[in-house]
Structure 1
Amino acid sequence: MNKSRLDTDLHVARYEYESGWVVAVDLLELAIDTEYVTVDYLEEEAVIGIDTPTLKTEIDLTLPEQEAEHRFNNGVLVIKNAT
């Protein structure tokens, strides 16, 4: 069974600092490996794609600015300014 809709709301936190910003998306509840998660950037938006054998969905997040980079940390997707 493929699902295209999440049954849960993901926790998204946004932090602003003098030196930049961070957006954190808690993917731990989905219990998926990060190899199934892609992040693409389109202007000031992060497009998070999840493509597992049982879940195929896309999440769009508005970012404070265009330049961004990401990493995964214990099931949390961390997106931050790339400066």
Structure 2
Amino acid sequence: MNTVVRQQLVEAAKDIQLREILTFLYRDHPQGASFEGLKEMLFLHENFEEAPLMQLAQSKILGFDGMRYKIAADARQVLDRDPTILMDEFLR
């Protein structure tokens, strides 16, 4: 398992809104979604910005094709092996 990718996922999942986005893209929308679509579907806070998603795309956790974000192949492989990464720490 790629420990760097796993650690980046763990760090991202500490933020509740990012955890919701990652869970949604992993489980419900593997084909990806736009930032505006994510804000609308997940009722993200009005002041939530796209910058954290761009950082995850730059670190290869998310793929970004110019319109949609989706879970990158390496990150999906890590999550397939250990989906508890996306669970709230109190539920683990």
Common topology (TM > 0.5): no
Specify which structure has the higher proportion of strand.
1
Which of the two has higher C-alpha Rg? Answer: 1
Higher relative CO (Cα under 8 Å, sequence separation at least 6) belongs to 2
Structure with higher helix content: 2
TM-score (norm 2): 0.29
